[in-house]
Amino acid sequence: ATKRDPPPPLSPSADVGATAAWLELALPDDAGKAFATTAKNQGVDAAALLSYSKEDLKSKLGGKIGPRAKLFEALERLRASRMTAAIAPTSNPGGNGNQEEDDVCMEGANENTNSGERRTPTRGGGGGSSGGGE
């Protein structure tokens, strides 16, 4: 037996037809076709399928234990990949989206440098005109 490639991602917004097509790719042979047919007949879209527990798969899609377990594993991989994508860093990793809190954090960060040196304010002087004309 040859190792199968994992099925392509399933969009949570996929309709019944796209979900049935994914089921056929996710499971080999007749099991995928049987699950796909049942999903079409029951109106199961991706959002519903992704919400199913093991018990839901058994009661709503039926089928043999082995293929159903493989389907559940494929759904778990999809769920895990979605969670990973959901917690990926944003374009502003230093901020939390609350400008006031970010400003307060920056005020504290400006008091000391990373090397431990204290910053001292500079006093005005030099570079100005002395005011004494001709």
Q: Are 14 and 22 in contact (CB under 8 A)?
A: yes
| d(C-alpha 57, C-alpha 64), whole Å | 11
- Counting as low any pLDDT under 50, the low residues of the chain are 1-2, 99-115, 129, 134
Q: What is the pLDDT of residue 82?
A: 77
Q: What is the pLDDT of residue 9?
A: 83
Q: Are 33 and 24 in contact (CB under 8 A)?
A: yes
| d(C-alpha 134, C-alpha 132), whole Å | 7
Q: What is the pLDDT of residue 27?
A: 86
Q: Which residues contact 78 (CB under 8 A, 6 or more apart)?
A: 9, 10, 50
